[in-house]
C-alpha cells in the first residue's frame, strides 16, 4: 500500500505484506514499518468525574494532573499518571454522548485502549486497507494535545481501540 507525504512516496508494510513490494526499484520510494508504539492510555467511562477522580487518586496514590472537556465527543476527561502509564477518566457531558450510551449499555468501566502512533493518517490507511472499520475518515482533535481516531470494536475483537498522535 502506498502513501504520499510531501513529494516522497512511502510503501507501508502491512501484514500480510502488501503487493507493491515489487516496486523497490522506484527512485523516491521509501519503505517504512508502521507500529503502534505503546499503549498511550486506558480510557475508563465514569458517571461522576469528581467521585471517580477521588477514587482513582486513592487507588493509584497520585493526583489528577489535568482535566479537559472535549466538545466534539461531548465528554469531560481527567488524566492520572502512574509510572509510565496514563489513565483517562471520561464523564459524559450530555445524554447523547458516546460515553453516556456506553454506560447505559454496559455500566461504568474500561471503555477503550489507546495506542500511540507516529503518523495517524498513515496508520488509519493501513488499518482501513486491512478491513478495520474506522469511526472517522480523518483524525479528530482529542484530549491532551492529541489527534485521535477510533477503530470500531466490531472489527477489533470487541475492544474500542483509539489511535493517538501527539500534535507536534
Under the rule (CB under 5 A), what is the footprint of Zn ion?
43, 88, 114, 162
> Smallest distance, Å, CB 110 to Zn ion?
11
- Does an H or E element contain 10, and which? strand 8-12
Nearer to Zn ion, 12 or 160 (CB): 160
Q: Give dist(CA 52, CA 60) in Å, integer.
A: 12
Nearer to Zn ion, 43 or 139 (CB): 43
Residue 42: how many other CB atoms lie within 10 Å? 15
Q: Give dist(CA 3, CA 134) in Å, integer.
A: 18
> Smallest distance, Å, CB 86 to Zn ion?
9
> Smallest distance, Å, CB 21 to Zn ion?
34
Nearer to Zn ion, 43 or 53 (CB): 43
C-alpha separations of 129 from 49, 81, 88, 125, 142 in Å: 37, 34, 29, 6, 24
Nearer to Zn ion, 12 or 161 (CB): 161
Q: Give dist(CA 70, CA 90) in Å, integer.
A: 10
Nearer to Zn ion, 20 or 140 (CB): 140
> Smallest distance, Å, CB 65 to Zn ion?
15
45 with 102: CB under 8 angstroms? Answer: yes
Residue closest to Zn ion when measured from CB atoms: 43
> Smallest distance, Å, CB 111 to Zn ion?
8
Amino acid at each position: 500500500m502506498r502513501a504520499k507525504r510531501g513529494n516522497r512516496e512511502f510503501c507501508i508494510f502491512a501484514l500480510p505484506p502488501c503487493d507493491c513490494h515489487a516496486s523497490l526499484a522506484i527512485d523516491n520510494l521509501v519503505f517504512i514499518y508502521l507500529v503502534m508504539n505503546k499503549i498511550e492510555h486506558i480510557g475508563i467511562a465514569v458517571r461522576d468525574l469528581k467521585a471517580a477522580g477521588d477514587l482513582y487518586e486513592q487507588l493509584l496514590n497520585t493526583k489528577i494532573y489535568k482535566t479537559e472537556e472535549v466538545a466534539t465527543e461531548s465528554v469531560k476527561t481527567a488524566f492520572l499518571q502512574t509510572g509510565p502509564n496514563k489513565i483517562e477518566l471520561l464523564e459524559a457531558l450530555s445524554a447523547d454522548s458516546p460515553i453516556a450510551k456506553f454506560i447505559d449499555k454496559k455500566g461504568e468501566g474500561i471503555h477503550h485502549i489507546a495506542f500511540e502512533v507516529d503518523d495517524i493518517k498513515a496508520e488509519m490507511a493501513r488499518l482501513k486497507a486491512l478491513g478495520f472499520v474506522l469511526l472517522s475518515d480523518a483524525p479528530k482533535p482529542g484530549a491532551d494535545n492529541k489527534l485521535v481516531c477510533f477503530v470500531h470494536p466490531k472489527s477489533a475483537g470487541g475492544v474500542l481501540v483509539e489511535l493517538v498522535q501527539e500534535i507536534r
